[in-house]
Structure 1
Amino acid sequence: MTVEIIPLAKHIGAEIRGVDLGKPIDPSLREQIHEAWLKNIVLLFRDQKLTQQDLLDATAVFGKIGKLGRPKEFRPAGYDSLLENIMLISNIRENGEPIGALPDGEMMFHHDMLHAEIPHKGTCLYSVEVPSSGGNTVFANGYAAYETLPEEVKLALDGKRAFHHYNYGTTKKGANNGVAAFSESTHPIFRTHEDTGRKTIYVNRLMTVKIEGMLEDESNRLLEQVYDHSEKPEWRYEHVWRPGDLLVWDNRCSMHARTDFSAGERRLMLRTTIEGNVRPY
């Protein structure tokens, strides 16, 4: 089978048509999909009807399924049938408590699992229920941002590393929402993608705290320049969700954010990740 690949935006994203992820994916099709993922960074599969096992099988097309990257007590409650490596992202509440993680409102740009020593390379998100408006996911191309970064900023940050901190469940920097569990890491500011060999920006507004070995004022000034440049509209694709959408994105060379949505409307997504196998370099 030859897949149909439709670009979603100039610099990032493609829709894959003609593929039912609820059916077995043969090796040839698997290779085509994986190549499209490396090229386009974000892939969209519309109108999927996936069981939990189907979602895990679809995730495995892109690599080894990642384990949930948070302590057990901070995993979503309810939905007891969920398999171990699937996380709920939801604002639905039972007895006043959300059944899922990251329940409400907008979320700053971030790379999933940047705070881990060996971050997961990709994320899959499958929509079950979506609000009538908002709750969109916005992606930005880290390759394009790096390649167009002002030369003086590149020179100032070349070879430098940044320290990252994340409180589980936090959607905005500086807010811990009463969550005590956290994870921290240190990675290169400019990462090399191990599969493509391309350089990409690997810091973000939500999780990055400081540049190692640099005074705070200078670190903040340079990081703000990088954030502002990385988040420019020209590098972006904004996805408006429909039920049955599956998005797969590469965390090594993209970051993403979430737009605000009404707390009075239900949103339920199932999330899996693709395990990383190298330390960022």
Structure 2
Amino acid sequence: MPASVTVTETQQAPVVQIVNDLPLDTQIENLIRGTDKINITRAKNTKVSFETGADKTGLELLPESTRKRLEADGIDVSKGYPEVPDRSKIPIFVDQAHAIRDSDVPFVDRGKNADPEKKALFGAATEVINLTKNVGTEIVGLQLEDLTDQQKDELALLIAERVVVFFRDQKLSPTAQHKLGDYLGNIEVHAQVPQVPGLPGTSVIWVDYQTKKGMELNFANSNLSNWDSTRYLNVGNQGWHTDLVHERQPAGYTHLHLDAIPSVGSDTIWASGYGAYDKLSDELKKFLDGKETVYVSAHQYLDRDDPFGGPKRIERVHPLVRTHPATGWKFLYVNRGMTKRIVGLSPVESDIILNYLFDVYEKNADLQVRFKWTNTKQGYGTSAIWDNRVSQHRNVWDHEGAEPRHGTRVTSLAEKPFFDPESKSQRESLGLYLHKWD
């Protein structure tokens, strides 16, 4: 309970007697956790506050296709949907959030020792379609639930090479999705994000639910963060970003399965970090290789030592150019929303260089793929599995909520970022032409 005081009036001045002398940070934490109206469950810009536990109001807008998928998996939604993490366990202070995953966890990339020809995966598919020359592949004729371990390893390598791989017409349960994520890495269990009941780490991607709860997303503001993410905070998922860059071991393979899909619109775009690196001149590559960058969390917290100083983000230092453990290729590891500064440069120098690198990712269409989620079979869902290390992505909210869109996401955390000075870029490794500037 917060500290209480007793005030005794005297002829000179009131005397204040401390009855319960708790530290200030403890009082603040007790106040926040005990006050439902204070938002500790989402980033500041969403202005959404969820109540702990299964949410009955979510059932009012739950798409029928989603309900059928959940019930077929034996998931009980009778008490409500989605399930919001326990308020008592959501971090209040930066140090609490930082400590959630602050030690090294073993990780070996499943694609590292996979068959480079991917004979088991490709041989079982009816069709393999490269959606663009450099990014994005669709696999036809396979069910993700039925893949063998060998096929999963080859899929991991394919994702690492092609950035993102798609599977339409999937009968995929949330439990099976979670199991695949566990195979690919260490599943991230998010402290704030609503999840599928009974499946921690299976996050609910449902903008319709957030807007119902008060998130102010509209046609006018949905893309503002792509101009200036410091002035116009990201609302929803429309700003270019890479997930969980602030983690000690950031996101590796991420799997989003949509079970409710608008008939038109709501596409997602991915961009390649391999290609972004290869767009740079040799001289700029030499300058950036070995540099470190400060990355920040999307969510904000209080500083225990300065609780009235405004919200703060978790900060972590990683290489600006990373090497992928499975492909061995270099890639550019930045994104506009969560890359703060380059270590060792002045703020002006850092801003100028980073803004150029953001533009390289965002403005080169030959490094990108735009995917339309629709299925060919009614009652089925579509999956996208991408490598968060080597990519950025963003949603296109052009359907404006006119039709339901719902999905579940499982993210597998990967290795502690590293840079191998002996590694090569993608085009260099594949023997493709690299321009030499005069």
TM-score (norm 1): 0.84
What is the DSSP-based 3-state SS (H/G/I as helix, E as strand, rest coil) of the residue aligned with 1:162? strand
- RMSD between superposed Cα atoms in Å: 2.7
Q: Flag the structure with higher helix content.
A: 2
Summarize the alignment of residues 1-281 of structure 1 with structure 2, pairs less than 5 Å apart: 2=123, 3=125, 4-23=127-146, 25-61=147-183, 63-68=184-189, 70-71=190-191, 74-76=192-194, 79=196, 81-93=197-209, 96-97=212-213, 105-168=236-299, 182-231=313-362, 232-242=364-374, 244-261=381-398, 262-281=400-419
Q: In structure 1, what residue type is equivalent to 2:207?
A: N
CA contact (8 A) 1:91 1:266 kept: no
Q: Distance in 2 between matches of 1:95 and 1:251?
A: 26
Quote the offset at 1:265 in angstroms.
3.6
Quote the offset at 1:274 in angstroms.
1.5
Query: Relative to 1, partners in 2 of residues 1:149 and 1:76: Cα closer, same or farther, differing over 3 Å?
Result: same
CA contact (8 A) 1:141 1:253 kept: yes
Quote the offset at 1:135 in angstroms.
2.6
Aligned length in residues: 263
CA contact (8 A) 2:157 2:327 kept: no
Q: Distance in 2 between matches of 1:6 and 1:93?
A: 34
Answer with 1 or 2: which has the greater Rg.
2
Q: Distance in 1 between matches of 2:202 and 2:389?
A: 21
TM-score (norm 2): 0.55
What is the DSSP-based 3-state SS (H/G/I as helix, E as strand, rest coil) of the residue aligned with 2:316? strand
Quote the offset at 1:85 in angstroms.
1.5
- Deviations along 1:47-87, one digit per CA (max 9) or x if unpaired, are 101111121233345x134122x32xx2217x5x3411100
Query: Percent identity over the alignment?
Result: 29
CA contact (8 A) 1:140 1:236 kept: yes
Q: In structure 1, what residue type is equivalent to 2:388?
A: N
Gaps in structure 2 of 5+ consecutive residues: 1-119, 216-221, 223-233, 301-309, 376-380, 420-438
Quote the offset at 1:36 in angstroms.
2.1
Quote the offset at 1:226 in angstroms.
0.9
CA contact (8 A) 2:262 2:374 kept: no
What is the DSSP-based 3-state SS (H/G/I as helix, E as strand, rest coil) of the residue aligned with 2:259? strand
Q: Distance in 1 between matches of 2:390 and 2:157?
A: 15
Quote the offset at 1:98 in angstroms.
7.2
CA contact (8 A) 1:127 1:242 kept: no
CA contact (8 A) 1:92 1:98 kept: no
Q: In structure 2, what residue type is equivalent to 1:88?
A: V
Quote the offset at 1:201 in angstroms.
0.2
CA contact (8 A) 1:76 1:98 kept: no
Quote the offset at 1:154 in angstroms.
2.1
Q: Distance in 1 between matches of 2:235 and 2:346?
A: 35
What is the DSSP-based 3-state SS (H/G/I as helix, E as strand, rest coil) of the residue aligned with 2:251? coil
- Deviations along 1:142-162, one digit per CA (max 9) or x if unpaired, are 111111212343233222111
Q: In structure 2, what residue type is equivalent to 1:268?
A: H
Q: In structure 1, what residue type is equivalent to 2:200?
A: E
CA contact (8 A) 1:56 1:65 kept: no
- Deviations along 1:66-122, one digit per CA (max 9) or x if unpaired, are 122x32xx2217x5x3411100011233894279xx996552222211111111211
Q: Distance in 2 between matches of 1:109 and 1:196?
A: 24
Bigger CA drift: 34-43 or 189-198? 34-43
Q: In structure 2, what residue type is equivalent to 1:76?
A: P
What is the DSSP-based 3-state SS (H/G/I as helix, E as strand, rest coil) of the residue aligned with 1:108? coil
> Highest relative contact order (Cα 8 Å, sep 6+), 1 or 2?
1
Q: Distance in 2 between matches of 1:40 and 1:266?
A: 29
Quote the offset at 1:255 in angstroms.
1.3
CA contact (8 A) 1:121 1:274 kept: yes
